[in-house]
Structures are given as C-alpha cells and as structure tokens.
Amino acid sequence: MSLLNRIQERTQQADETDGQQDELRSHPPVQPKVDIRSVFREPHTKETVHPEAKRKQDKHQELKNLIHKRILQEYKDSPVEDIIPQLEVMAIEIMKEDEQFRGSIDRKKVVDELRNDLTGFGPINPLLMDEDVSEVMVNGPSKVYCERKGKIELTSIMFRDDEHVMSIIEKIVAPIGRRIDESSPMVDARLPDGSRVNAIIPPLALNGPTVTIRKFSKDPFQIDDLVNFGTLSQEMAIFLEACVKARLNIFVSGGTGSGKTTTLNVLSNFIPHDERIVTIEDAAELQLGQDHVVSLESRPPNIEGKGAITIRDLVRNSLRMRPDRVVIGEVRGAEALDMLQAMNTGHDGSLATGHSNSARDMIARLETMVLLAGVELPVKAIREQIAGALDVIIQQSRLKDGSRKITSITEVQGMEGDVIVLQDIFAYKQQGVHEDGKIIGRLIPTGVRPKFYERLEASGIHIPANVFIEGEEWAE
C-alpha cells in the first residue's frame, strides 16, 4: 500500500496520533580486535590534562593505572576475551592490598571503563549506546560534548590524555583501511554500525585530538517517522513520494546537522525495488533497503600522496555502471558539473545533498562548484544546466530549539532571461516561541501547483488537489 493510501486512511484519525518518537536511535557497534598495548599505555605524569577534575578522580584513576600495569605485565599477549573476566578480580585484589581504595572507589565504574577500553570505544562508549544521543564531540581529552535531543551539552566524560584519544581514533580508522598521523592529520571514517566519524589531530587541532561522531539508527527511519517527528507534514510526504516515483531530480539542501542525510535516506526508500541504484559517498552511511544497490566510497591519498579516488571520479565511473538512479551523499566540488550533466542526459530520478541556507543560495553554490571543474562556461550556460537538471530543491534546517524541519520544498521552473525561476510549493511558517523555548510553527502548502504536475499524472501518479491547498495541515 502506497504512502498516499496509508495517509488517506489515517487522516480521519490524525488527531489521535500527535505523539512524537524519540530522535535518532542508536545501536551498540560491533567492535574490532584491539592491541592491548595500544589501549593500556603508561599514563603521563604531568598534571596538564583536565587538572580541575584530577583531584576528584585521583584515586579512581590510580586504581585504573594499577590495573593497566598488571594487565601489561600478566596478560600482554592474551586475547581480550581472556582479560575481561579478570578485570573484576584484579580490582578486588588491588583494593584489598591497598586500604586507600577502600570505601572511596566505585569498583563497578572502574571495571566498566576498563571494559570499554578493551571492547568498545573507550570513555565515549556509553554515549554511543545512549539512544537519546545523536552526536558525540570530543574536543581533546578533557572536554567531551554530546547532542541530546537537539541540544548540545558538556558531559562528565574524560580521557586520560591525548594518547588515550589517539588510541580510540586508531581503533576506529584501522578496520576500514584509513590512517591518521602528522602527515595526514584529518580523516573521515565510519563505525561498524554506519555512524559517521571525523577526526583531526595536532598540529591542526590545538586542543588535542578531536573527534566528531554522527550517530545513525540501525533501523533506517521511514517517512512516517519524519511526519511524527514534525520534520515534514503529511501533504509534503505525499508530494515527495510522488516526485521520487515519477523520477524527478531532487536536491536536498541544508546546514550542518540539519538532517539532510536522513531525509535523503528516506527519499531513497521510495525508489522501486526493480531499479539499479548506485550510491556515492565520502564515508558510506546511506542505508537503502532495496536489493540492487551498489555502494561506492571515495578514497584518500596514500602515504605518498597518491591513489586518491574523489567523488568526481566515482560520479563519472557510476555512469558506466548502467544505473537507474544515482544517489550522491554530498556534492561539494567539481563533481557538481558531472552530476548536472548526468541529470541532463537521461539519468532521471537522481538524488543528492549539499550545504546551503536556502534554495536560492544552493543554486548560487552549484554555479560556483561547476566553475571549480575548470571548464570555462558562461554563467548563463551554467544556469541553463542547473535549470534543466534539477526539478525540486528540499531545504532543511535545524531550528533554535533543536528540532529539524523541512522549511521549504521548491520547484525549479526554468529560466527567464538570465535568472533561474524558483517557486515554493510548501513552506514552514514560524508563529512564535513557547515559554520553554520550543518553536511554534506550521508546515503548509503555498497554494501553487507545480508545473511538473502533468508529468506526475503522465507517470500514473495522481495527487489530490487539496495537497497543494492550505487546509487541515500538520501543526505543532
């Protein structure tokens, strides 16, 4: 049953379903094997790391250090599976031997932290397992932030030192063949569950090794989830399903953390299962449910600075792979020209995302990105390429209260003179702010029926006329 039929059946019961689901569920990642010596290093003796917390955690850290030493002495060459059961035993023995630890140490916390070092991703493992946390940000060893339900907060989590953070970064990037060192101090990677990771280390990062992890749900969100979250309205959902099935070229625009990739993933679910899909990303994170999906991932240069495979290389190659649909995780450079040419030469139904503050700004950015390709084209020719390639621009934003909204769905109508004509089909109207800071607003149709409406009808997709008329739209 299509989304349109499901929503039409539910419209009579809409008032009964205004609860929202928790945002961005996560799943504990499957962990790779680790080298015990890389996890348990001798701690630095300098008191330069988080001194404000050192007095409170002095005994706690001392006990951990003693267990570290014992593991290195007695279990250096043992597999992790043999060490885990001994952590509790070693903690009890050391606490019995030294009375300074009695009554002042949370033994369970010590053992849990050691277990996370061995089998998980160290101190941040509890955040990765927390379903309410959507992003984890490590700003050096002494400051770890997280985004919880759209709001950033400082946690009490700390690493021992810079080397401790580096060991976790190495643990993340090694299984996927990436590297990070002084000659290559930035890296994009992913966790086994698909969560996206960016790491940057000194000398570029002055506060110490810095890690940013964007978590994703093990079970991909569906369009109904976004409707329940208030990201878009039911009318918008009907319209977007029709656009994907009618093979319109759609571009999702928005700022960092606005939910572009989540929306792209949801839209991709509307692609029929009998079509061949090629996805292109810097760090693979799309979670498509279709059977016939080929996932391509760019590659950074090797230690000699050679062997890099860019997004542009992958876009060009994908056109030789007989794709029915091309889905590009993010367009940020010269690959924009190849994407537009593909959309203009028979590869309809393509999807992509990019960073911008509005649909009009996205058009301007695409013009600039095409110029980066090194092809000398007049601006009017570039604009004709854009106007001929794109059908719909979805603008997504993260509002001040932390909520994520599709703030406009805009049709690219074509050229008038030297200007690309845009027309909003749906828009978000903010009406005020609650006392608790939550933004009040509505997602409404503008009353304009798109020019490609006949194209939808010709594809056998009928959208009720009231979808484009402001009526009983979703409100919060």
| Residues 327 and 339 sit within 8 Å (Cβ to Cβ) | no
Q: For Cα atoms 314, 319, 325, give the angle at the middle one, nearest 5 degrees.
A: 100
3-class DSSP state of 369: helix
CA distance 171 to 179: 10
Distances (CA, A) of 448 to 330, 360, 411, 430, 468: 29, 18, 10, 20, 6
Q: What is the pLDDT of residue 7?
A: 44
| Residues 229 and 218 sit within 8 Å (Cβ to Cβ) | no
CA distance 92 to 111: 10
Q: What is the pLDDT of residue 303?
A: 75
For the residues 314-321, what does the mean pLDDT come to? Answer: 93
CA distance 326 to 349: 8
Q: What is the pLDDT of residue 76?
A: 75
Q: What is the pLDDT of residue 41?
A: 47
Closest Cα partner for 409 from 422, 421, 427? 427
Neighbours of 78 (CB within 10 A): 12
Q: What is the pLDDT of residue 338?
A: 93
Sign of the torsion angle spanned by Cα atoms 27, 32, 35, 36: positive
Q: What is the pLDDT of residue 251?
A: 97
Q: What is the pLDDT of residue 380?
A: 93
**Sheet of strand 144-148, all strands in order from the earlier edge strand to the far edge:** 151-154, 144-148, 133-139, 210-214, 196-200, 186-190
Amino acid at 99: E
Say if residue 450's pLDDT is above 80.
yes
CA distance 140 to 164: 10
Task: Provide DSSP, 254-323.
Answer: E-TTSSHHHHHHHHHTTS-TTS-EEEEESS-------SSEEEEE-B---TTS---B-HHHHHHHHTTS--
Q: What is the pLDDT of residue 35?
A: 53
Query: Considering only 162-171, 282-291, 376-385, which range has the smallest mean pLDDT?
Result: 282-291
3-class DSSP state of 348: coil
**Bridge partners, residue 181, by sequence:** 184
Burial (CB < 10 A; 0-12, 13-18, 19+), residue 151, is exposed
Q: Of the segments 11-20, 66-75, 467-476, which one has the largest average pLDDT value? A: 66-75
| Residues 442 and 427 sit within 8 Å (Cβ to Cβ) | no
Q: Which residues contact 15 (CB under 8 A, 6 or more apart)?
A: none
In the structure encoding, which two tokens stand for residue 406, read together?
A: 């599709």
For the residues 356-366, what does the mean pLDDT come to? Answer: 95
Q: Which residue has the higher pLDDT, 33 or 442?
A: 442
19 confidence band (pLDDT: 50, 70, 90)? very low
Report the share of the chain in percent with pLDDT over 90.
47
pLDDT tens, position by position, 236-270:
999 999 999 999 999 999 998 888 999 999 999 99
Query: Considering only 5-14, 58-67, 76-85, 232-241, which range has the smallest mean pLDDT?
Result: 5-14
Q: What is the pLDDT of residue 363?
A: 96
- Biggest CA–CA distance in the chain, Å, is 85
pLDDT tens, position by position, 407-433:
999 999 999 999 999 999 999 998 888
Helix axes 107-119, 80-97, angle to 10 degrees: 150
Say if residue 162's pLDDT is above 80.
yes
Question: For 181, which DSSP code?
Answer: B
For the residues 295-302, what does the mean pLDDT come to? Answer: 88
| Residues 387 and 415 sit within 8 Å (Cβ to Cβ) | yes
Q: What is the pLDDT of residue 49?
A: 44
3-class DSSP state of 98: coil
Q: What is the pLDDT of residue 465?
A: 82
Q: What is the pLDDT of residue 102?
A: 66
Q: What is the pLDDT of residue 43?
A: 44
Report the share of the chain in percent with pLDDT over 70.
86
**Bridge partners, residue 420, by sequence:** 415
Q: Give the global pTM.
A: 0.75
Q: What is the pLDDT of residue 273?
A: 93
Half-sphere exposure of residue 276: CA atoms within 13 angstroms, side-chain side: 9
Walk me through the domains of the chain, giving residue ranges and CATH numbers. Answer: 36-214 (3.30.450.90), 220-468 (3.40.50.300)
At CB < 8 A and 24+ separation, what contacts does 321-324 make?
321/276, 321/278, 321/294, 322/276, 323/276, 323/277, 323/278, 323/294, 323/347, 324/271, 324/275, 324/276, 324/277, 324/349
Rounded to the nearest integer, the mean pLDDT of the chain is: 83
Say if residue 4's pLDDT is above 60.
no
CA distance 395 to 356: 8
Q: Which residue has the higher pLDDT, 203 or 466?
A: 203
